[in-house]
Amino acid sequence: MNDCIFCKIVSGDLPSYKLYEDDDVLAFLDIAPVHPGHILVIPKKHFKNFEEVPEDTLCKLIKVVKKLGLALKNGMGYEAYNIGENNDPLAGQIVPHLHFHIIPRKENDGLQLWPQKEYAEGEAQEVIEKIKKFL
């Protein structure tokens, strides 16, 4: 895609701090990290979101995420990390090219996860029925 910033990184038209590269996957440091070592893992081929990516490519991506997560812990001394994928703009996806975030975590780092709620009486069953229609 001509206007995709990640495609430009893949093609070499834009610089990046590359950590990993193979025929299908590229991983590099996020330029606006939550903490040093915040990594983005992308397919080299352009896929807009999670639903578009073929399963074989998805498997390759997640294997790299796992490998880099461990390398982040061992190399940077972090005890934990979050894996995130914002799927579509409403979910916070800024770059319309599938990418996984590996966000290193440290104790008392101030990063907040989403708030949790409880289901109302009967609501969980309704949700299950609606979703199962499309499995």
Catalytic residues, by residue number, are 99
41/23 Cα distance (integer angstroms):
13
Contacts 24+ apart (CB under 8 A), 77-86: 78/35, 78/37, 78/104, 78/105, 78/106, 79/105, 79/106, 79/107, 80/104, 80/105, 81/105, 82/111, 82/113, 85/50
Instruction: Please state the φ and ψ torsions of residue 3, each to the nearest 5 degrees.
Output: -100, 5
